[in-house]
Amino acid sequence: MELQLSTPALLFSAITLLMLAFTNRFLAIATLIRGLHKNYLKEPDSELIVEQIHNLRHRLTLIKNMQLFGVFSFLLCVICMYLLFQGYTSAANWVFVVSMLSLLISLGISLVEIQISTKALNLELSDMEGIFEKRKSSLDIFFKKDEKN
């Protein structure tokens, strides 16, 4: 299969949409950190706030790496297109493969970050568990929690 100029060009829209999503996640976390900082100044001994701050610091590192690999993939797509334009098909193929691997790594890190963000939401909900356990709902049949021994 021969790589054509339009193939890496197709990745432009996908990569830019991913970068936009990653940036939105970063901005949301920045807002959360600012809010937690205000809460921490009011209650510096709160275990929940300290746990959330630790979680957000880890997520910031992951988002930074997601963005890094996404930008690297985008850059390699541009280089690939240039190599194809110049007629260096073999080199362009290898650059395109590395670009795809970089994009794959970025998506993999994104999956890890989503798992961690779910853990953060569970931390947020943990202090309300007693309220939810006392409350009865018609949907309890479907969403019943496993009983702990």
Which residue from 9, 3, 17 is spatially nearest to 77, judged by alpha carbons?
Answer: 9
* pLDDT for 13: 80
User: pLDDT tens digits, residue range 74-125?
Assistant: 999 999 989 988 989 999 999 999 999 999 999 999 999 988 888 777 766 7
> Is residue 140 predicted with pLDDT exceeding 70?
no
> Is residue 149 predicted with pLDDT exceeding 80?
no
* pLDDT for 19: 86
Burial class (CB in 10 A: 0-12, 13-18, 19+), 19: middle
* pLDDT for 106: 94
User: pLDDT tens digits, residue range 18-77?
Assistant: 888 888 988 988 888 888 888 888 887 777 777 788 888 888 999 999 999 999 999 999
Look up tokens 């890890």; give the residue. Answer: 112
Band (pLDDT 50/70/90 cuts) for residue 143 is low
